[in-house]
Structure 1
């Protein structure tokens, strides 16, 4: 395959995912700019401190999983179907645990930043919000990522062309939506 044909193939596979990412990113921005989100941000000191880190780590944690899946598929170590495969299960569980640990860590760091700057805030509330948001986003991101990578691979698409935009978009959309849900759920109990 010539270099031009190879570049066109990558572009052809990645363009639809990038276009969906563009629309989904606008949707995430709409949620972030909504009155409901502003009210949630005002109710919980520290949300704006942890928001960028939370969104960035969704891409980092689950992007690693996407890269593992892609490498495993290319090497023939993982089959593109939903079976009880040890490699696949271990990668998914490790990503879930990493996502949850990072979420709690972000809440603790955000709390200490707030204390350092004299803003106050509740450690329990921030950790609760991050556990709920981290859990919900992990479940949806893991299931969507694995499904899209496997289905795309079966249809002849290179997962490497799909994973980057997919994980970034899912992290933003699910992260913001579930952070908002977590603010209100935790607010009911604390």
Structure 2
């Protein structure tokens, strides 16, 4: 395939998922502006401080998982089906552990930063960790299932997974990260 054909293929494969990502980002922004979210951020200042790092971590951790899956598909060592595959299970387990660990660390870092600032009182540490870890666990479930299903389906139809992974992870991470953050705030009792 010549360079022009390669560019067109990448564009054609990427555009639909990029448009879906745009819509997802707008929806995530809408959820962030809801009264319940604003109430949670006002009640627990550490949540607002943690939000950018929390969302970025979803992209970093599950983007790396997506890259491993794409490499496995290209090399033929991962089959594009939802079945028990040792390499796939190990990669998923590592991603979940990384996501949960980083979420707890983000909560601790946010709490610490606000604790040392004069006149600022952070949310209780246990509740802050609970909200972020619960949201991370729920988001991990959706990200893993969504990422695997969409990448495997695309790959079976001849779409290069490298054109799908970034927008899928970004969209699912932002949309469900924000939604599950709100659900977790409600579950922990931050908002009613």
Residue 158 of structure 1, aligned match among 157, 160, 173:
160
Residue 23 (structure 1) aligns with: 23
User: When the two structures are superposed, what TM-score results if normalisation uses the length of structure 2?
Assistant: 0.96
Contact 1:129 1:186 in 2 (8 A): yes
Q: Measure the CA separation in 2 of the matches of 1:135 and 1:91.
A: 16
- 1:62-141 matches, within 5 Å, as 62-118=62-118, 119-121=120-122, 122-141=124-143
Cα deviation digits, residues 152-173 of structure 1 (max 9, x gap):
1001100000001111111111
Moved runs in structure 1, 4+ residues, more than 6 A?
A: none
Q: Measure the CA separation in 1 of the matches of 2:111 and 2:36.
A: 23
- 1:162-177 matches, within 5 Å, as 162-177=164-179
Cα deviation digits, residues 57-97 of structure 1 (max 9, x gap):
00000000000000000000100011211000000111011
User: When the two structures are superposed, what TM-score results if normalisation uses the length of structure 1?
Assistant: 0.97
Q: Measure the CA separation in 1 of the matches of 2:181 and 2:82.
A: 29
Contact 1:44 1:183 in 2 (8 A): no
Shift of 1:45: 2.2
SS in structure 1 at match of 2:77: coil
Residue 189 (structure 2) aligns with: 187
What is the RMSD of the two structures over their aligned residues, measured on CA atoms? 1.2
